[in-house]
Amino acid sequence: MLTLYQFPISHYCEKIRWALDYKKLKYTTKNLLPGFHRFTTKKLVSNSMLPILVHDNKVVQNSSDIIDYLDETFPQLPLTPQQEKLKQEALDWEKYVDKEIGLHVRRFCYSYLLDYPSIVIPFFTHNGPWYGKPLMKMFYPKLKKTMISTLNINAENRARSKLRIERAIDKIHTHRQGDRYLVGNTFSRADIAAAALLAPLCQPEKYGLDWPLQQPEPLEIMIRELGDKINWVSDLYSQHR
Ligand SMILES: N[C@@H](CCC(=O)N[C@@H](CS)C(=O)NCC(=O)O)C(=O)O
């Protein structure tokens, strides 16, 4: 049995939901509440980071290790290219986007979103336990403070993150030259990683979250500025998600 411990809002968790769905694997999700997730994760691992995949009695943490594990254990519909050179390229892209897009999209978005509990609380409690909303409402000010500190949110870092995201998108744009995929001619873990980690800026329906009708203006502006440079994310979502 496969169980994914996750936050529905987390783009690293979306990377794994997508990988599991793409490989047509049956799994159940345990949606945890940010801040309170440690009560659950500490029973499984020493580090509280999600996603965590539990398969029978094996516990795998870190999205890249989870995809390794899935491809080794369930080789059908592989996400890791077989050919050594292409495999290395896919792993390099995945590592690059995990660091240059994942961390910075999260910091950049939360730097605005945290001022809007009406948006963030539904994200954090989506398909979670019944007591999620009242608990979140009560602890939101403390959680917001903790997130500002752990994500190192300040005006300078927000500007830095914006630049890092733009640079990474430009690098991908130049590399793709209109190709469908990042590596070779097939869909791979590199595409899932890049598209899932950029998804909060494109808000695709298949992410599985109820996106807000309106979001903070600076985020809208950033998305507008990126324009068609990230159209490929929506294309990958409609073709492979
Ligand atoms: N490198 C990790 C990053 C995962 C990550 O940053 N997860 C965040 C949510 S987006 C998290 O669980 N934060 C809470 C915590 O660390 O306790 C991966 O690829 O899985």
Say if strands 52-55 and 58-61 run parallel, antiparallel, or are unpaired.
antiparallel
pLDDT in tens, 126-153: 999 999 999 999 999 999 999 999 999 9
Give the Cα-Cα-Cα angle 158, 164, 169 (nearest 5 degrees): 130
Distance 55 CA to ligand 1 centre (A): 19
Pocket test for ligand 1, best of 13, 50, 66, 105 (most atoms within 8 A of CB): 50
pLDDT in tens, 68-94: 999 999 999 999 999 999 999 999 999
Instruction: Report DSSP letters for 163-176, one per residue.
Output: HHHHHHHHHHHHHH
